[in-house]
Every structure is written in structure tokens, then in C-alpha cells.
Amino acid sequence: MGMVRSKWLGALAIPLMALASCGGSADTTGSKPVPVPIERYDAEFGSALCEAYASCCAQAGLAQNRAQCVEVFAPKISGRDQLDPARYDPALARTCIDRIADFASSCLLEDLAPPAVKDLCAPLFKSATEMSGLTFGAIGEACSGTCTAERLCSPRPQDATTSICSLQEGRRCAADGTCQAAKAAGEACDSLFDCASGRPCSHGICIEPHSTGPCRDHSQCTSTSDCKAGQCVPRRLDTPDFCAGEF
């Protein structure tokens, strides 16, 4: 599969389930979409996504390393390991794949997982709670730590009477040792384990990151943008590195 640069895939670990839940191909017969069986999901996702990116590269006058895209990039973000066989819907999978292909044509990394697509495709995948295998606590329960959406956890001494708090579910393990509501944008914070999922702790304040606009450092930009010369700049997919397969 070759080396994969965290520059791209790290940004796409935005609940992977959410991103991968929608891929992009227009495998249709006439005007009627063809459902995607679960065993074909990964192949259809990769084919559609990389076809969309081929157009981005071509528009920039660059050649795409199609093999690297299909064999390395697409499998890393397809979410195939998170598909839920019990809830999988072949027709919905086709819709998701087609939608992600449409969004990918913008050639912006952030458009791989827009909120509307995440919500549409989420039923195909196991939840973050199901994937983690952990039992998360409710508000007021004694806690032994906090886990972010990416399952990075901040542990406390644990015994049979404590639970883990999940930022994905809007809860943090507070100083008093109980699960409390995660902090919203604008509230004071001590670490990334205080703020609601997707809101980093920047200079002691939970913030709402943005893809464009002023920034002091990268923490003030979304995971799909970089802070350059004081401005959040969305990452593009029609670059020499990306098209060459150096993800």
C-alpha cells in the first residue's frame, strides 16, 4: 500500500464512520441506481471516489496515480470495517456513494464529509460507542476518564463502579469525578477532553473551528484546513502530492 501521509488521512479521521459512510460512484443502469451489496461496498466506493479525484487532477493538469488512490487512499477512508451488516441497506449505500462523488468534485478535502452526507449515510455504520466496545456513563455517574470521538482517552484510576465519559455523546469526566456535559464553544477548558466533540481547546477556551478566516494557529482551523499566514486555508485534493499518490 505504500507510505500514507498523515497530512491527509489524519484529517479524515473525523469520525471515520461519518466520512466513510458516504462514498462516490454512479454505477447505474439507465436512470435507475444499482444497489451496492455489502461485499461490493469497498470496491464501488474506491472506484467512484478515485474517478472523481481523477477529474480534479486533470483539471489541474496533473496525472493521477489511480492505483494508489484505489488501493491506498480509498480503503483507508471507506469505513468498511465499521459497516453494520444488520442495518446495511444496499440502496442507501448506492445513494451515499453517488453523493460523495458529487461533493468530491469540488476538489476540497472538507467536502468528503459534509454534515448532510454524514447524517444521510450514518445508518450504514456502527456507532462510535459500538465500535469502541466501551460502556459510557450518563450525566452524574462516577467516571474513570473521557474518550474523544477518535477513541483517544484520558484515563483516571478505574474500578468496577466507574464509567467512561464520551465526548461523542456530549459528556466529559469532570474534576469532581462524575460525567458532566461537555463544554460548548466559548467556555473555559483545560484540555481537549473538556470540549464537545469537534471543538478544540485553544488557549484555554473551547472554540468552534472554521475552514476559512483568521487564525492564530492550526487548532483554530478545522481538521481539513491549515493555518497559513494567519488565515485558515482549506486543503485541496488537486495538488502534485495528492495526485501522485503521496497521501
90-104 and 41-59 helices, crossing angle to 10° = 10
**One domain, residues 138 and 95:** no
Q: What does the pLDDT read at residue 202?
A: 87
Average pLDDT of the chain to the nearest whole number: 83
| 119 and 154 belong to one structural domain | no
Q: Which of 80, 103, 126 is the last residue of a domain?
A: 126
Residue 134: pLDDT over 80: no
Answer yes or no: do 115 and 19 share one domain: yes
In a domain, 60, yes or no: yes
In terms of Cα–Cα distance, which of 165, 176, 167 is closest to 139?
165
Weakest-pLDDT range from 1-10, 111-120, 172-181: 1-10
How many domains are contained in the chain? 2
Residue 198 in domain: yes
| H/E segment holding residue 68 | helix 66-68
User: How far is it, in rounded angstroms, from Cα 151 to Cα 129?
Assistant: 9
pLDDT attached to residue 118? 81
The whole-number pLDDT of residue 127 equals: 77
> Is 238 part of any domain?
no
Would 216 be classed as within a structural domain?
Answer: no
Residue 118 and residue 53 in one domain = yes
* pLDDT tier for residue 2 given thresholds of 50, 70 and 90: very low
Cα separation, 141 vs 149, whole angstroms: 20
185 in a domain, yes or no? yes
Buried b (16+ CB within 10 A) or exposed e, 138-156: eeebbbbbbbbbeeebbee
Q: Are residues 62 and 93 in the same domain?
A: yes
**Count H helices, E strands: the chain?**
9, 12
Q: What is the rounded average pLDDT of the residues 84-112?
A: 91
How many Å is the Cα radius of gyration of the chain? Answer: 19
Q: Indicate whether 244 belongs to any domain.
A: no
User: At a CB cut-off of 8 Å and minimum separation 6, what does 30 contact?
Assistant: none
**Which residues does 128 contact at the CB level (< 8 Å), separation at least 6?**
15, 17, 149, 151, 166, 168
pTM for the model: 0.69
Determine the structural domain holding residue 109 and report its residue range. Answer: 6-126
Residues 141, 192 share a domain: yes
The per-residue b/e assignment along 31-41, b for 16 or more CB within 10 angstroms, e otherwise, is: eebbebeeeeb
Q: Are residues 173 and 107 in the same domain?
A: no
Same domain membership, residue 57 and residue 38: yes
Domain termination site, one of 103, 126, 149? 126
CA pair distance 137, 178, nearest whole angstrom: 9
pLDDT digits (tens, 9 = 90+) for 175-222: 999 999 999 999 999 998 999 988 889 889 999 999 999 999 888 998
Residue pLDDT, tens place only, 161-177 = 788 899 988 999 999 99
Residue 157 shares a structural domain with residue 53: no
Q: Which letter does DSSP use for residue 239 in this model?
A: S
Nearest in space to 59 (alpha carbons), one of 199, 182, 224, 237: 237
pLDDT band with cut points at 50, 70 and 90 for residue 158: low
Last residue in a domain, options 126, 155, 181: 126
What is the rounded CA–CA span in Å between residue 33 and residue 98?
9
- Residue 75 shares a structural domain with residue 113: yes
**Residue range 33-48, pLDDT digits in tens:** 799 999 999 999 999 9
**Confidence (pLDDT) at 124:** 94
pLDDT at 153: 86
Mark whether 37 and 63 lie in a shared domain. yes
Residue 226's pLDDT is what? 93
Q: Which residues contact 165 (CB under 8 A, 6 or more apart)?
A: 136, 137, 143, 145, 146, 147, 171, 172, 173, 179, 180
* Beta-bridge partners for 236: 108
From the number of C-beta atoms within 10 Å of its C-beta (0-12, 13-18, 19+), residue 3 rates as: exposed
In this structure, the answer to whether residues 122 and 136 fall within a common structural domain is no
Q: pLDDT class for 7, splitting at 50, 70, 90? A: low
Query: Does residue 220 lie within any of the structural domains?
Result: no
Poorest-pLDDT segment among 59-68, 118-127, 232-241 = 118-127
